[in-house]
Structure formats: structure tokens, C-alpha cells
Amino acid sequence: MDAVTRATAVMEFVETRRDFVVELLRRMVESESPSTEPSAQIEIRELICAEFERLGMRCRRLRGQSSGGMLFVSPKTRRRGSPAQLMLGHYDTVWPLGTLETMPFKIEGERISGPGVYDMKGGIVQAILALEALARFEPEPAVTPLLFVNSDEEIGSRDSRRTIERLARRVVRAFVLEPSLGAAGRLKTARKGIARFTVTVKGKAAHAGLDPEGGASAILELSHVIQSLFALNDPARGVTVNVGTIDGGLRPNVVAPESRAVADVRVATHADATRIEQAILSLESVTPGTELAIEGGFGRPPLEPTPANQSLWVRARELGVDLGMRLDQALAGGGSDGNTTSLYTATLDGLGPVGDGAHATHEHLHLGLTLQRAALLALLLMEPPLAVTTDNDKGAG
């Protein structure tokens, strides 16, 4: 069948799964899974595994060191030497246990709301639908589909990052099922890199009234540091440096012997990440008798619009036309595991639900538009390896 006919058939199939999607979303949202409560994540982990095993996939549970663990989903059989593609998701949320009491799962027409439905349990449901469509329309795709789902993405993926890096090196492309951007549902073809730095100032205590010259104020020095940090902001280049917390001192009548500031840094390019990191780590004290200790760095590198990443975006836009969609691309200020995969393979982010309210009390998705995104994901999974890609031509095990 031609491309438009295939796209229409996939969309019609996905639409038949509407009731299934609503019920699965309800079960997933009502399985609360905050990042900081690994024991609470068992229920949703098993729910997700059961769905993929129903599709005849193998679901491996990977133990976490500090998190609730990870899931790696792969076909039970595959052609030897065939290239692989990776879908990425997470089942942890920012919402604490008990949030359902004030923010219940709710259906209002096409709007479905509840904690985690948009970011990003809806994306995992899309992966299930896409694999169902793949089994129906192209049971032997040219590129083997794999799925990795972690439980610590919302807190930086510290436990799962090494596994993500290993998988990204072994696939030809990665599709990140994070929610799309804004009401228009833009795909995320660039993301800022994110860093955190802690600057601790050591000074010398003294009585502020009797012997002020005998001390060295860590707070005075911190004020200079804060000015230097804010001076690094460059909106035109997408560089933001924000000192979000400060603390220090003992009492109003004591020259402060210690103070501390924590800064959030976001940049759009690897070059700026290197430049800003060097600038912060090379800060020196200007107040006599004080010294600085600076810790931190970039936990998530920038996701840049590389040629490989853009090749995925262009193909997604073309497939969107076949589905009657008009897709746009955008830069996102927040990070995801796509920041990591982009270092090693072609990556397209923001393929998840269309809606709004990530990390907010009005979190919701639009059902019809999210089903359309599941059809788009299915079509992307059916694609052969693209002409512009990376050197990752090995399969993942």
C-alpha cells in the first residue's frame, strides 16, 4: 500500500483502541509512582511488563542501586545482525503519594487529567499502541524495536544513565516519549543542557561589634560570587544561570564564617556548556581571608539539532503529513534522557502526549491528539534506517 493509505490504516486501527487506552491510562495514573518512593513503583512496573508480555515481547526487570529499577523490552526473537531502534520512557512522576486525593484521574470529553498522565505515562501507552500497530501492519520491521523505561528520570536518571548510554551506542536511532511541547504539540529537536553548582565560601568568625576587622565575612564574599554568576546569563545564546538558594552565617552579631549558594545552569550548546562550566569552576574569592570551594557540573548535556537528529525530525514531519498533521519543532528548556542518547545516536524527543501541565496541577492530555501521536510513532518504527544517521549499526541485546 502507498504511504497515505498505510498511514490511514494505522490511524484507523489506533482509533479502535480508544477504550483500551482510557482504561490503561486510568490504571497507570492510579498506580502512583513518585521518583523518591521506589517501593511504590512495583505496581506500575508490573502493569507495564504485563502489557508488553501480552504483545509477545520479553520484559527484563533491571535492578536499580538507588531507584525502583528499570525495564528493558525486546522481541523474543530477531534477525541476527539487524539494526535496532530504541524507545525511551519513564514511569516515575514528581507527584507524592496521596496526590490522587486532590487530583484524581478524570475524563472530560477528550481531556484526560491526573498525576503523571501527561508526563509521561501517556507516552508508555503510546509505545504499547505503536507496537500493536507494528505487529498488525509490519511484523518484521527493518529496524528492531526496543524499549527502555526507567524510574528515576524526574530526579536526573543517575541510576539509569549508564544503561541508557550503553543502549544508545548500539542503536541507529532513539525516540523519546516525553510529552510534546505546548498546545501545538511541537516535537523537541533541541533541549538545553542542565548543570548544578554549589559554591561554598569559607571565612572567619568574629564579633561584629567588638572585633569586626578580625573576621572575614563569607556572606560578603558570597555576594560577589552571586553577582559573578548572574553576570554569566546570556539570553541571546540561550544561557541561563540562576542562583536559587543561599544560606550561611551564625547570628546577626557574628561575622559569617561560612555561606553557600546553589546555582542552576542551562545552555543550548556543548560549546557554551564547556565555557560556562570553566567560568564557574575558575571563580576566585575577592574578599581577603575567604576561600571558595566549588562543586558540580553538567548532569545532562545539551541535545543539539545535529544532522542525524534533524534527519529524524524531517522524516517525522513527512509522515505527519500522511496522517494529516502539521508538525513543528522547538527548543525545550528542560532536559530528558534524550539529552544523553543524542550524544551517541540520532534522537527525536517530544513524541509523547499532546496536552499541558507537566509538573502542574492542571496536568492533562488530549486523547484524540495523543492517539494520533501513537500512529506517528508506529509509522516511525516501520521506517528503514535513514540515510543520515550515526555509526551505530550494531543491534542491542
Task: Please list the alpha-helical segments (H only) found in the chain.
Answer: 3-15, 18-29, 42-54, 122-137, 161-168, 218-230, 270-281, 307-322, 338-341, 367-382
Dihedral angle, C-alpha 328, 333, 334, 338, nearest 10 °: 50
Kindly report the pTM of this predicted structure. Answer: 0.91
The Cα–Cα gap between 163 and 337 comes to 11
* Closest-CA residue to 132 (of 16, 233, 49): 16
Nearest 5°: the CA angle 80, 81, 83 is: 120
The Cα–Cα gap between 87 and 73 comes to 10
In the structure grid, which three cell numbers stand for residue 319, read together?
509522515
- pLDDT over 90 (residue 21): yes
The DSSP code for 285 is: -
Encoded amino acid at 309, one letter: N
| CA R_g for the chain | 24
Model confidence at 394, pLDDT cuts 50, 70, 90, reads very low
Model confidence at 388, pLDDT cuts 50, 70, 90, reads low
Q: What are the respective helix, strand and coil percentages of the chain, to the nearest 5?
A: 35, 25, 40
Please give the domain boundaries of the chain with CATH numbers for all domains. 3-191+303-382 (3.40.630.10), 193-300 (3.30.70.360)
Terminal-to-terminal C-alpha distance of the chain? 32
- pLDDT over 80 (residue 153): yes
The Cα–Cα gap between 157 and 170 comes to 19
- Give the mean model confidence (pLDDT) for residues 320-346: 96
Helix (H), strand (E) at residue 185: none
The DSSP code for 235 is: G
The Cα–Cα gap between 106 and 117 comes to 10
Check if the beta carbon of residue 189 is closer than 8 Å to that of residue 309. Answer: yes
- Give the mean model confidence (pLDDT) for residues 331-340: 95
Mean pLDDT of the chain: 96
pLDDT of residue 395: 45
In the structure grid, which three cell numbers stand for residue 117, read together?
498522565
* Residue linked to cell 501480552: 54
